[in-house]
Amino acid sequence: MSEPTHLPFCREKDIDEVLQATTVFSNVSKGTLAKHEDLVDVFGTDDEEKVCRIILAEGDLQVSDKERQLELDSLFKDVASVLSEKCINPDNNKPYTISMLERALKDVHFSVDLHRNAKQQALEALPVLQAKFAIKRALMRLQIQVPKSCKAEAMDLLEKLQADVESRDFSSSQMIVTCLVEPGHFRQIHSFVQQSSEGQGRLEVLSLAAIDDTDSSAAFDSGTPHDLQFPTTNAAAPEAAAATVADPAAARAISNSGFVTPSSALHSLRANPADTSGREESSPGEVVYPRGSISGLPEAHASRKERFVELDDLQPGWEVELRGRKGGTTVDATFYSPTGEPVGAYVNARRAALKASKQNTT
């Protein structure tokens, strides 16, 4: 028998603070009390308070079939949402909609586990989807700044990791490179910057997922997942290890599950204030859709509207602003709660709306 302080459902020492009554039923709906001989046979005692303590310590929490199904459906949609945020179609670098990924997950018979979080299960679902569909993790966009003395080593490392170098700047005493890399290579690059540059280097995450999501509705058919079928390898998805960037201002949280935590602060490229020679300072970019209701999104962003409308279903009053990045075609979305607070990316907004919806129903 466990003491109340060790019970999984509570930390109360007084059992009367946990239960309305210590009466044990064999059938609650019919109001049938448990027989004393049955209690002794099953629990070894007919003391109802002791029996209640045993049930609290060792029993399973029962939920109705309808409540359990709602939790499964919500978690299933969360898994699809994470995949939509972090994965792309490799043929056109565009994301899939949540509804399409839900159909694809059902097509591969993927089942969710209520005891594990959505990010872990999304990482497990990715290689299963890759075996049948054209889908892969989106690359991270990094800015690496090291002394010129490390130039050869840095370029050799990027070539070894098959990084896509977007720009180079050798106009100062520092070499600054902007590149796209697999999330799983983040730790290796981070270690190189820390060890090889003798504290003079800097690694900044410019984008956790470099996705071209402009008019993504044209990237794929809205029919069955079979329309997306494409022969792919069955390689496992790379894992991004948890690490901290040397510069606290550029630090970004990365989960142990392999998925990095999104942040609205990453949606704008930042220049190093200590070195602006030979480079143009980044700006937020042009506003594509000024802050307004999700239902007001234009037809050009129909795929986004399809994804975002769920927020209003969970908690009415959400607003969104679309802003294009300078010098590119990528459009970032920033969300504002019904109270007007900025919450950043869609996954953060959905989490907040889901939490508010559950609070309203309880």
Rounded mean pLDDT, 49-66: 82
Judge residue 160's burial from the number of C-beta atoms within 10 Å of its C-beta, 0-12 exposed, 13-18 middle, 19 or more buried.
Answer: exposed
| Residue 347 CB partners (closer than 8 Å, separation 6+) | 81, 82, 85, 262
**Is 147's pLDDT higher than 80?**
yes
Lowest mean pLDDT among 64-73, 161-170, 223-232: 223-232
* pLDDT, tens digit (0-9, with 9 covering 90-100), for 193-214: 888 777 777 888 887 877 765 5
Look at residue 264 in the predicted model and tell me its pLDDT: 34
Look at residue 79 in the predicted model and tell me its pLDDT: 93
**Is 168's pLDDT higher than 70?**
yes
At 68, the pLDDT band (50, 70, 90 cuts) reads confident
Task: Tell me which long-range contacts 110-114 makes (C-beta under 8 A, separation of at least 24).
Answer: 110/79, 112/72, 112/75, 112/76, 112/79, 114/68, 114/71, 114/72, 114/75
Lowest mean pLDDT among 246-255, 317-326, 335-344: 246-255
* pLDDT, tens digit (0-9, with 9 covering 90-100), for 10-21: 556 778 778 888
Look at residue 217 in the predicted model and tell me its pLDDT: 44
Taking the complete model, does pTM exceed 0.75, yes or no? no
**Is 7's pLDDT higher than 70?**
no
Look at residue 317 in the predicted model and tell me its pLDDT: 92
**Is 72's pLDDT higher than 70?**
yes
| Mean of the per-residue pLDDT values of the chain | 74
Determine the Cα–Cα distance for residues 123 and 120; give it in Å rounded to an integer. Answer: 5
**Is 277's pLDDT higher than 50?**
no
C-alpha angle 127-266-193 in degrees, rounded to nearest 5: 80
Lowest mean pLDDT among 78-82, 95-99, 110-114, 234-238: 234-238
* Strands (E) located in the chain: 25-27, 32-33, 87-88, 136-137, 140-147, 164-169, 174-181, 202-207, 287-293, 319-324, 331-336, 342-344
* pLDDT, tens digit (0-9, with 9 covering 90-100), for 284-301: 568 889 999 999 998 888
**Residue with token string 């310590």:** 57
* pLDDT, tens digit (0-9, with 9 covering 90-100), for 316-338: 999 999 888 766 667 888 999 99
Look at residue 293 in the predicted model and tell me its pLDDT: 93
Look at residue 285 in the predicted model and tell me its pLDDT: 66
At 351, the pLDDT band (50, 70, 90 cuts) reads confident
Q: Quick check: 140 and 168 in contact, CB under 8 A? A: no
Percent of the chain scoring above 90 in pLDDT? 12
**Is 89's pLDDT higher than 80?**
yes
C-alpha radius of gyration, the chain, whole number: 26
Q: Lay out the sheet containing 331-336: strands in order across.
A: 287-293, 319-324, 331-336, 342-344
Q: Quick check: 10 and 62 in contact, CB under 8 A? A: no
Look at residue 75 in the predicted model and tell me its pLDDT: 92
Nearest to 296 by CA among 322, 270, 274: 322
Lowest mean pLDDT among 75-79, 121-125, 297-301, 327-331: 327-331
Nearest to 98 by CA among 337, 346, 330: 346
Nearest to 123 by CA among 177, 158, 83: 83
Look at residue 362 in the predicted model and tell me its pLDDT: 63
Percent of the chain scoring above 70 in pLDDT? 74
